[in-house]
Amino acid sequence: MNKKAIILNCRVDLLNENEALELSKKSIEEKKNFHIITINPEMIMNAQKNPAFLEIINSSDLNITDGVGVKIALKFQGINQNQIRGVDFSRKLIDLASKNNYRVAFLGAKEEVIQKAKENFLKQYPNLNIVYLRNGYFQDDNEIINNIEASGPQILLVGLGSPKQEEMISKLKDKLHGCVMVGVGGSFDVFSGIVKESPEIYRKLGLEWLYRTLKQPERFKRIFPALPIFLIKCIIDTVKKKG
């Protein structure tokens, strides 16, 4: 099994993108479900006050390091871990699906966004086997769960924002067989081309969060003061454990 670390009681798995993709492929082939969380500081902070969400995080199959804040928190523990960007990882899963003719399902984002994302994926992968697609604005979870179950996906991307997407996956888990399930946040907005991806320079510097905040200033209140508090809590926790 892969190496793990704990950040503020949340499990983080220490592996690279290729290893995560390999494990995903293996679970599909072995017909086992596989819940992947692209974990970031906001989620970890939310888990501090939401025990049910903490339980979801710690019972997932893989928690990959998405946010740069998580990478920094690991560094405090002396661990060098590369960031696995959720958007890039999801793209690679779609590539894997197209190569292996896996059944794919998309849930989340606004109707025009999810339709445009589908169009873009089909331009790149005309043979992509999309068995289910639904925007993320609905009332009745059960109807969605039943429809996804009936479509039998092998890769399911859920972009409802966190913790909604992880809660939805938790409810779906027992209904599916051999399905890789990933909460992808706002990735459909990027896949649709409606939200621009952060330029490479921001990505290299680990400043995607800054770019996204500049483009969508309403995100500011989500990041501050959560991000600095997260880092301070991580430092205190690391010092306590060492002491």
Q: Which residues contact ligand UDP by CB under 6 A?
A: 108-110, 136-137, 159-162, 185-186, 188-189
**Residue matched to tokens 């990735």:** 187
End-to-end CA distance of the chain: 29
Q: What's the closest the beta carbon of residue 22 comes to ligand UDP, in angstroms?
A: 25
Cα–Cα distance between 158 and 164 in angstroms, integer?
9
**Is the Cβ of residue 28 or residue 227 nearer to ligand UDP in the bound state?**
227
Which single residue brings its beta carbon nearest to ligand UDP? 136
Nearest approach in angstroms of CB 113 to ligand UDP is 6
Rounded least distance, CB 236 to ligand UDP, Å: 26
CB of 27 or CB of 162, closer to ligand UDP:
162
Beta bridge partners of 107: 134, 158
d(CA 241, CA 233): 12
Find the shortest distance in angstroms from Cβ 167 to ligand UDP: 11
Give the nearer residue to ligand UDP in terms of CB position, either 27 or 134: 134
Residue 22 corresponds to which tokens in the numbers above? 């390999």
Q: Which is nearer to ligand UDP, 161 or 178 (CB)?
A: 161
Q: Please tell me whether residue 106 adopts helix, strand or coil conformation.
A: strand
- Looking from the CA of 6 toward its CB, the CA atoms found within 13 Å total 7
